Amino acid sequence: MDTLVLNADGQPLSFLPLSTIDWQESIRYLVLDKASVMAWHEDWIVHSVDWETNVPAILMLREYMKPKTSVRFSKSNVFLRDGHTCQYCGVLLDKRNCTLDHVKPLSQGGKTVFENTVTACSPCNSTKGNSTKMKPKVKPYRPDYFEMVNKRKSIPFNIRHDSWLDYIN
């Protein structure tokens, strides 16, 4: 995405995922006067029949939106909670090599929730299979929002404009 969206207090709307929108949506925010521009993409201009503007790099909303403080369940959030580390053998994994394992298998009544899922490497996930004999080193839990934000901040963001660094660190 191309534009970072800040709340009226100057903080990103979200870190999980980072609150970004595409350039078309950022122009809508400008036209509808819902946000102020904090920084522009200097080398990126869009045109209409009778108007032209640079594309905003950072927008700040005019009205404060209450931030969400709950963490939704997703594979990427489980991997982030577990630090991209296999919970059975302890090997640090690349994002592409992480698999999601159900501690209590679905076939035995397990649910796809934070409290029953862990990050696993493919060999451990295959070895464990449909059993409950292998136990994770750390019991799975529902993470706190602020814990997840701190973990997310420790991983580099895909920065589209240098000015973003002032707001996401």
pLDDT tens, 46-95?
A: 988 988 999 999 999 999 999 888 899 999 999 999 999 999 999 999 98
Domain membership of residue 25 (yes or no) is yes
Please enumerate in sequence order all residues whose Cβ is within 8 A of that of 83, keeping only pairs 6 or more positions apart, or say none.
92, 119, 151
Which token pair is 140? Answer: 């799975």
Domain membership of residue 20 (yes or no) is yes
55 and 114 inside one domain? no
Helix (H) or strand (E) run with residue 125 in it: helix 122-128
Domain membership of residue 87 (yes or no) is yes
Question: How many domains does the chain fold into?
Answer: 2
Encode pLDDT of 39-56 as tens digits.
999 888 898 898 899 999
Q: Which of 154, 157, 153, 115 is nearest to 136 (CA)?
A: 115
88 and 118 inside one domain? yes
Beta bridge partners of 2: none
pLDDT band at 154 (very low <50, low <70, confident <90, very high): confident
Domain membership of residue 53 (yes or no) is yes
Question: Angle at CA 9, nearest 5°, toward 8 and 13?
Answer: 70
Query: Cβ distance 143 to 4 under 8 Å?
Result: no
pLDDT at 161: 84
Query: Cβ distance 142 to 82 under 8 Å?
Result: no
pTM, rounded to two decimals: 0.79
83 and 29 inside one domain? no
64 and 83 inside one domain? no
7 and 59 inside one domain? yes
Domain membership of residue 167 (yes or no) is no
54 and 91 inside one domain? no
102 and 134 inside one domain? yes
Domain membership of residue 165 (yes or no) is no
Domain membership of residue 152 (yes or no) is no
Own/partner long-range contacts of 125-133 (Cβ < 8 Å, ≥24 apart): 125/99, 125/101, 128/88, 128/101, 130/105, 131/105, 132/103, 132/104, 132/105, 132/108
Domain membership of residue 163 (yes or no) is no
Range of the domain at 113: 75-143
